[in-house]
Amino acid sequence: MDKPLQRQRARDLPKNSTNAGRHLWYHLRAGRLGFKFKRQVPIGAYIVDFVYLEKRLVIELDGSQHMDNKIYDTKRTDWLMTNGFKVLHFWNHGVFQQTPSVLEIITSALL
């Protein structure tokens, strides 16, 4: 995918984000955890759900659609890790059911 198209797609994705994505973004945005996260950011050939660039931490939310894209997700995670990113995966339902634990795991990964 060429860069301008990828950037446009990244800009459009938040409009169509999942409920879990919006819920987690509420807790991550505006430095609420003390870190400046960005969402739907192009990195290489991929667009990640959330990233804190200073510590190279990527957060990916997985739902039922990810069961069909397991090979793609594995390739993306491998590429990100090879390029120095730490990647955390959370299931959509876990973001709702265990929000404090999810936020604690994210914070611990940044300290």
Question: Whole-model pTM?
Answer: 0.82
Which two structure tokens, joined as six digits, stand for 80? 């990100």
What are the domain boundaries of the chain? 3-110
State mean pLDDT over 29-35.
90
β-pair partners for 91: 62
Q: Which of 25, 51, 27, 28 is nearest to 38 (CA)?
A: 51
Backbone angles phi, psi at 56, to 5 degrees: 55, 45
pLDDT of residue 6: 52
Q: Once rounded to an integer, what is the mean pLDDT over residues 30-41?
A: 92
Nearest residue to 38 (alpha-carbon basis) of 56, 50, 24: 50
The CATH number given to 3-110 is 3.40.960.10
- 61-90: pLDDT as tens digits: 988 665 567 888 899 999 999 999 999 999
Taking the C-alpha atoms of 61, 67, 68 and 69 in order, what is their torsion angle to the nearest 10 degrees? 50
Mean pLDDT of the chain: 86
